[in-house]
Structure 1
Amino acid sequence: MDKLKVAKHREKRFMKRRAPVLDLGALSDEISGLSKAGITDLRERWKTLYGREPSGHIGRSSLIRVIAYRLQEGAFGGLKPSAQRILDRVCDGRGEVGQEGIPQRRASAGTVLIREWRGVSHRVTVLDNDVVYRGRRYKSLSEVARAITGTRWSGPLFFGLKRRAKEAVRG
């Protein structure tokens, strides 16, 4: 086996999920010690963990974060196999395949959206290429949201078709 294959094999073996390490104090000490290490020591530690030299463009703070993540990953286990498969598909350029199960929330023609804003109920009817609000046509829900609030809003977010980033992460 050439060096590249050995490094990839080592990396795959390291990435597998593992049982938690019992000595959390040692792990904590090792991670906190990274901030005191010099750039040369950090690059050596990277090489030990990843089997290859880090890019010269990676700064000290990034080295510390990535090494700390790898140490925790080794102690607590890596990604679930299903999550790893999705990431592998994305890396292979098949990112669309991994998103098949994520439904897109869209309003089709004829949908009536109702949103209460400051005690007033606002009703919008979705058409094929535009929307109707109070008898007037608008090009997008964002234009309607701006007419209602007086500020720039994402129309789909304002009308509940899109979740906020925090909500999407938390589920």
Structure 2
Amino acid sequence: MSRVSLHQHLEDIGSMDLDALRQTWSDRYGDPPSLRSTPMLRMMLAWRIQADAMGGLDADTRKALARTGSVEIEGRHLGVGARLSRTWKGRPVEVLVEEDGFRWEGRLYPSLSAAATAIAGSKWNGPRFFGLRDTQ
């Protein structure tokens, strides 16, 4: 693919809606990711097309990424036994950090975000819900 052709593909991606992005992904790579975020799918598709045309990550970058290790679940750094609390809709809420997840009202959740979502009844970022992250 020439640089002009690559540039045109990337420009086209910038104006596609979610359905068009999914169709383009499907045509090129098979089943598209099950994302509902147009900006995220747009970035992923643009990266894949550029990687195909220009070779992707070099060996040094791949090695550096492999050395980073696994990602720690946010909130675990507080330590097993830590309690996170806040008031939600006038009601006190408390989540306990455990070895295998986050416990709220007797139920264990795999992530702080899953617990926050259960508490709020809608999708929430757990660290933000409990004030562990800046709101900006």
Q: Quick check: TM above 0.5?
A: no
TMscore range, shorter length:
0.3 to 0.5
Greater percentage in strand? 2
TM-score by length of 2: 0.42
> Which protein has greater RCO, CA pairs closer than 8 Å, 6+ apart?
1
TM-score (norm 1): 0.34
